[in-house]
């Protein structure tokens, strides 16, 4: 990794494992990913000075349309998780400021129905479609450079899913 990359920090971020009554996890297919059939859980940056729980609920609503009365925070992982972007993406995302993300992950219980999901709740939308999947399938659905993070999230929340 070149010196320019190592000088970059990590983008503060939250991640949401939204679990329904059947123990399935929400994943969306990103609109902007044309290179693969990758699915991910909702996630996004934390605004300066923003409380992590406020960021979780904001990101959840922006990406899924789910409101706070339909999702309850169950647990936060004890430690944030980091990942580095692949070389070819460094300098191209997030204004070129970051080498990767540092994510605080939260498990949320979804009490609504599919009628409560609106992928167009925020303009621009991030997902073009969604589905509910078994937690153990998550690492196989995400882009390769995030697989370790997804395995850690699944293990960290397994007993509560």
DSSP letter at 142? S
Give the pLDDT band of residue 148 (cuts 50, 70, 90). Answer: very high
Question: Considering only the top CATH level, what class is 3-160?
Answer: alpha beta
Compute, in degrees rounded to 10, the torsion defined by CA atoms 59, 64, 70, 76.
-40
What is the residue extent of each domain of the chain? 3-160
Mean pLDDT along residues 4-18 = 83
Structure tokens at 161: 């899913």
Contact 2, 10 (CB under 8 A): no
How high is the pLDDT of residue 2?
42
Q: 66-108 pLDDT, tens per residue?
A: 999 999 999 999 999 999 888 776 666 666 678 889 999 999 9
DSSP label of 147: H
**Are 111 and 74 a contacting pair, CB within 8 Å?**
no
pLDDT in tens, 30-75: 998 767 789 999 999 999 999 999 999 999 999 999 999 999 999 9
What integer best gives the mean pLDDT of the chain? 91
């Amino acid at each position: 990794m070149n010196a320019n990359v190592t000088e970059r920090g990590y983008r503060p971020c939250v991640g949401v494992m939204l679990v329904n009554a059947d123990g399935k996890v929400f994943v969306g297919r990103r609109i902007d990913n044309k290179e693969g059939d990758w699915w991910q859980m909702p996630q996004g940056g934390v605004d300066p000075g923003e409380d992590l729980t406020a960021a979780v609920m904001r990101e959840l609503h922006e990406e899924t349309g789910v409101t706070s009365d339909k999702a309850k925070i169950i647990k936060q992982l004890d430690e944030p998780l980091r990942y580095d972007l692949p070389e070819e993406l460094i300098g191209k995302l997030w204004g070129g400021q970051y080498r990767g993300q540092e994510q605080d992950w939260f498990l949320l219980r979804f009490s609504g129905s599919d009628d409560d999901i609106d992928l167009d709740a925020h303009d621009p939308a991030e997902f073009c479609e969604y589905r509910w999947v078994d937690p153990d399938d998550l690492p196989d659905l995400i882009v390769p450079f995030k697989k370790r993070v997804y395995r850690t999230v699944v293990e960290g929340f397994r007993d509560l899913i």
